[in-house]
Amino acid sequence: MKDPASVIFKKISKPRKEYMFAARKAVYGYSVCTLLNAKNSYGGYTGNQVYWLMIRDGIVQRATNLTDSLNRGAPGIISIGHYANCDDGK
């Protein structure tokens, strides 16, 4: 984010137990998806974006923008054969 103080969080999913791979090792923690709007380099808002965040010990380990994938109807990939799940469920 160019200006983290300008981020407007519109929705945050329920945290779910999750894993990802970093340096070929499994990293366990919690993931959330968030709908946000943030300012770009010119000071204007970029529009709604969907991000997947992997959190471990209160620190964001990975943040992935899923907006383009979701707009194409494709799921966001966390690792090979493992996709981001932004559904809150029932």
Alpha helices of the chain — where are they, by DSSP H? 67-71
Beta bridge partners of 50: 35
Taking only the tens place, the pLDDT of each residue in 68-85 is: 888 787 778 777 778 888
Taking only the tens place, the pLDDT of each residue in 16-46 is: 999 988 888 999 999 999 999 999 888 899 8
Which pTM was predicted? 0.81
Question: How confident is the model at residue 85, as a pLDDT?
Answer: 82
- CA 72 to the chain's CA centroid: 17
Question: How confident is the model at residue 75, as a pLDDT?
Answer: 77
Question: How confident is the model at residue 73, as a pLDDT?
Answer: 79
pLDDT for 12 beyond 90: yes
- CA 24 to the chain's CA centroid: 20
Question: How confident is the model at residue 89, as a pLDDT?
Answer: 60
Q: How does DSSP classify residue 4?
A: G
Instruction: Give the SS3 label for residue 21.
Output: strand
How far apart, in Å, are the Cα atoms of 89 and each of 1, 6, 16, 84?
Answer: 29, 30, 11, 14
Question: How confident is the model at residue 74, as a pLDDT?
Answer: 79
